[in-house]
Amino acid sequence: MGLRIPCLRCGKWEEECACPALPREREPEPPPVVEVSVAKPEVRAEVIRMRREKRGGGREVVVFEGFPRDVDLEALAGELKKACGTGGTARQGAIELQGDVRNRVSELLLSKGFRTVRAGG
């Protein structure tokens, strides 16, 4: 004995239904492919050094140093904190972020035109 399915229109069983067959649904056409050229930012000459420090209680902090003077560190620190979902600050010409977020921040800084190198641990 097979599975009995009621008609969607009249509610009778398939064997008793006299409704015309439902038309098959057409598959939607795929959207056209649009190629977008993304201009890579020009890489600056300065190299940003990033080092990991351990603070009291085993907390990790990553310090980014070597930014040129024309960069707004407060705004850049805010963008990095928001992108990584972590806390941090900008002080004494450096940006400090909580946690080991070196890989993520390295990608973000490269997209803004800054090269980074790991220093220390």
Parallel, antiparallel or unpaired: strands 115-118 and 47-54: parallel
Contact 49, 119 (CB under 8 A): yes
Does the pTM surpass 0.75? The reply is: no
Which pLDDT belongs to residue 2?
A: 67
Residue 73, H or E segment: helix 73-84
Digits of tens for pLDDT over the chain (121 positions)? 567 888 878 888 878 888 887 777 777 788 888 887 777 778 888 899 999 988 888 889 999 999 988 889 999 999 999 999 999 999 888 999 999 899 999 999 998 889 999 987 5
Which pLDDT belongs to residue 87?
A: 93
Contact 98, 60 (CB under 8 A): yes
CA distance 108 to 82: 11
Domain map (residue ranges) of the chain: 47-118
Q: Does domain 47-118 have CATH number 3.30.780.10?
A: yes
CA distance 40 to 109: 12
Residue 110, H or E segment: helix 102-111
